[in-house]
Amino acid sequence: MPKKPWGGRFKKVTHKLVDKYTSSIDFDKRLYGEDIEGSIAHAKMLGKQGIISKQESQQIVKALEEIRGEIEKGKFPYREKLEDIHLNIEKRLIEKIGEIGGKLHTARSRNDQVVLDERLYLRREVGEILSLIKDLARAFLDLAEKNIDVIMPAYTHLQRAQPILLSHHLLAYFEMLKRDRERYIDCLKRVNIMTLGAGAVAGTSFPIDRDYVADLLNFPQVTRNSVDTVSDRDFILEFISTSAILIMHLSRLSEELILWSSKEFDFVDLGDEFTTGSSIMPQKRNPDVPELIRGKTGRVYGNLMALLAIMKGLPLSYNRDLQEDKEPMFDTADTVKSSLHVLSEMMKHIKYKSENMRKALSKGFATATDLSDYLTRKGTPFRKAHEVTGKIVRYAEEKERELIQLNISELKMFSSLFEGDVFDHITIEGSISSKKSYGGTAKENVLKMIQECQKELAKW
């Protein structure tokens, strides 16, 4: 039976149920790479500072690298009774090089060790997520270029609102991803801080060099307060919070794709590669990928709530409750990365049905605002113009005709300001081309937006 590293204080062995209940090795073994990386840096610092001999430091580093190889080859003997990845690696180190291995833990605690591992892990994960965000943003830009002349109805309250270019709609998601990227980069500032040296809670009496360890691990700074260092999980909360906003954006897109791929809309073809069938209904082609993204969004929200609930009642500093921070962190990173990856690939295969989108604008009085704007430019106060247009819409509805199907005599029944040129303003193309305000849907604007976004993307 493995001896507990902290067993000197106790007369009786830990109950087997406690061993099982408190063990985290099943999930925190994912941190083996980070744990070994941090331990190698710590060992080198101990040797540099003369806390252990340089020869001992070199022996420890060599053995840790061998242990990493064992783990990667699937030959490492994980032991549940040793609780976590830290003690499992330390035990194996001692087995390989004897008591010298026990010197590695000098001037550190699992409390500052685990939070270092988590920061190293998140730093890598954020880097991968940023790369995946770039891939998805590029997919939106490619689609915007490809579909620059496709016209669709914009929606408010899920009701047809005004005509816009599909490209303009797609670029809205680029803006969301841009903000997501900025949030992750800002989050990384608070992730990328080195924790070793805080010890269990009070620091250490050994002459350590924290800045040297930070340099070895490529951290720009070290934590300032040992109490806060071992009890802080804000950086994980911020990561999950940022991820929750990102996946909310993916869920909104997914909801649109689900609606648009239905026969009721029939705006988009998701392709055979990214849809599935029914076990009983042969005709079905189901949008399972966006549905699952929409569903997995709830998991990320749950992870955020779980960690907030864990943290809300913890007195300073370290408490064992903090062991529960890892699974929400791991699950969030996995969920976000897989969702971004599959969505990026799906968007490369998607096909928009331009005729159906255009047809959806044939009913619903989508250019009514343009009619109001026409009267406003003629000198009618906008509120009055809005009222007049509302009456025209009601009249057209009763006649079962669209605005463009009314004649000038009918329009003059509501205002003498109408002239023949009004029909140039209330066509679908006329409506879109008139929206030249910065950020508007006019084609010349959208083309400039695409160019701006391409330049931004090249710097990501």
Has 278 been annotated as catalytic? yes
CA distances for 367 relative to 166, 187, 377, 418, 428, angstroms: 17, 43, 16, 15, 7
CA-nearest of 194, 192, 137, 147 to 168 is 147
**Catalytic, out of 15, 157, 205, 409:** 157
Q: What angle do CA 179, 183, 187 make, to 5 degrees?
A: 170
Locate 78 and state its tokens: 């994980």
**Catalytic, out of 131, 278, 349, 362:** 278
Has 157 been annotated as catalytic? yes
How far apart (Å, rounded) are the C-alpha atoms in residues 247 and 48? 45
How far apart (Å, rounded) are the C-alpha atoms in residues 172 and 399? 37
CA-nearest of 127, 339, 331, 351 to 250 is 339
Catalytic residues: 157, 278
